[in-house]
Chain A
């Protein structure tokens, strides 16, 4: 029984599709046991960051961030005139996030949904206090974040805010400071920084106590100073090259 295609603007593939079955390259991961150490890095290590600004020429400012399997591109257009006729004395920050259909394990429909919006709200929350919006009345700054590959939604939000912050700096918009962010997960008894999607699934099983939340925040703060150094370095290199 054929269902009607709701998406008429694109060429639709077959209604049902299955992942191809092929020989796994590496060994099948054994189930993580509580108490065993993290695979591949220490508990407090974040994934190595590749960050470069100025890759998209058409935009006022742009940045591309890659941390192992998470790849995010960010473009900033602005400040440009607000389309609304309402006078706003402070500029508006408009963050739009898009997950490409091939970014997650299961294909995402290209239509905007709640997850796009929740990531956008978090990134906007992080950036609003850092940008000097009072210098830009009647203007809007549009930030478009495209998630090319997604390995853990918390990692995406963190990397997305880092990329957006560098892109804003690349666009020459005045800010109070660079926004660095990172995510943590509580796995068993330990705090693991920058969890991947798999680690995020294991971590969801644990409970969060209030003091653990505070410890997580402190661990994040230490990491953020390192990330800040990386961001500043990337911007410096771009400025020196142009």
Chain B
């Protein structure tokens, strides 16, 4: 996203080699080849869900590549007096970590003087603007009502969950938007919503009943109904005033609708060709970039969640249509790869961990 300074001759050189036959890229990849993607979930134990993603890490040098860390955190919000919305809401933000000096102070701080490790060449104003841009792209796609998960209500019309999705860009070596969306999807996949139970408080009665007096009385012995239903005529659903966690150590249930979260594919457009997964010099040499966010909830009908064009180039509508259909193919491959990796991570963390514990 942040344009690296590239001279005219360098730009012409990169464009000429991409348009040659056969097309040549700096690291020898094909036009549609992605760099190696490394994904790990559950990296932040205090968060409700987290993932760390790295595109293009070089195994020999032990570093490099675009690295993004995404984590979700759930907060309780009051619907009536606070900012909460009945049904919960999702807020995304993108930032980066700043490292003052690597040798002496390994403390990570976020100050205006130090430049973030990801974008050392940008001023603080340009950084703020880049932060806004990335946040808006993520927020508008993920916060869209069609992707809203159902189980973010605690007590209907009183309390709901606020899902904070925070992404930190640790290093940017091109294709940060794809990395952001993949990490966000993995973190949301990994998110567990704590189970809650609605509780009603009743003052002790003066009558001679043998009921337990004083504070809390469990109204609902099952878990609280996650969604508010208009057909619910039970009194307790309306008078429940507070909630409790029945099991403190239980991580909870998974976030509903997790198969719907979108993946993003960035097509770098250099008419007549296009390519994927650009490195920073390639990103700076291309006049137009198209971000396509696809959701593959049902494998047969993909949904185009959002589309963005960035850059000073121009397109006509016939080209847009063809790019949308091509982008869908690439997105599907990316989605399948991500899916299989996420399921593998699930297995590694839950099933294998249990087996290892049983065998100890």
Contacts and interface: CB of A to CB of B under 8 A. Distances in A.
B132 A208 contact: no
B132 A118 contact: yes
B309 interface: yes
Contacts of A118: 132-133, 136, 140
Nearest to B309: A125
A204 B132 contact: no
Given A125-B309, A210-B328, A117 B136 contact: yes
Nearest to B307: A213
B145 A210 contact: no
Interface string B282-293: 000000000000
B304 A209 contact: yes
B324 A214 contact: yes
Interface in B277-310: 301-307, 309-310
Interface range, A side: 10 to 19
Given A118-B136, A121-B133, A204-B144, A213 B312 contact: no
Interface in B123-154: 129, 132-133, 135-136, 140, 144-146
A208 B129 contact: no
Given A114-B132, A121-B133, A210-B324, A129 B314 contact: yes
B170 to A, nearest CB: 22
A114 B312 CA distance: 22
Interface string A213-225: 1100110010000
Interface in B315-336: 317, 320-321, 324-325, 328
Contact of B146 (A121, A125, A206, A218): A206
B63 interface: no
B313 interface: yes
Interface residues of B, number: 28
Contacts of B305: 208
A24 interface: no
B145 A204 contact: yes
Contact of B320 (A114, A205, A217): A217
B310 A125 contact: yes
Nearest to A117: B132
A217 B317 CA distance: 8
A128 interface: yes
Contacts of B140: 118
A152 to B, nearest CB: 15
Interface centre among A114, A128, A214 (most CB of B within 10 A): A114
Interface in A34-78: none
A224 to B, nearest CB: 11
A51 B87 CA distance: 41
A213 B324 contact: yes
A117 B301 contact: no
Contacts of B309: 125
Given A205-B145, A209-B304, A210-B304, A117 B321 contact: no
A114 B137 CA distance: 11
B325 A205 contact: no
A2 interface: no
A207 B314 contact: no
Contacts of A208: 146, 303-306
A213 B294 CA distance: 12
Contacts of A209: 301, 303-304
A205 B146 CA distance: 6
A237 to B, nearest CB: 29
Contacts of B303: 207-210
A206 B302 CA distance: 15
Contacts of B311: 125
Given A125-B309, A210-B324, A221 B317 contact: yes
Contacts of B302: 210
A35 to B, nearest CB: 19
A218 B317 contact: yes
Interface in A118-173: 118, 121, 125, 128-129
Contacts of A210: 302-304, 324-325, 328
B132 A129 contact: no
Contacts of A213: 304, 307, 324
Given A208-B305, A213-B304, A128 B317 contact: no
A218 B318 CA distance: 10
Given A114-B135, A208-B303, 20 more contacts: A114-B132, A117-B129, A118-B136, A121-B133, A125-B309, A129-B313, A204-B144, A205-B145, A206-B146, A207-B146, A207-B303, A208-B306, A209-B301, A209-B304, A210-B302, A210-B325, A213-B304, A214-B321, A217-B317, A221-B317
Ranked 8 nearest A-B pairs via Cβ:
A129-B314, A117-B132, A118-B136, A210-B304, A114-B132, A128-B312, A204-B145, A207-B146
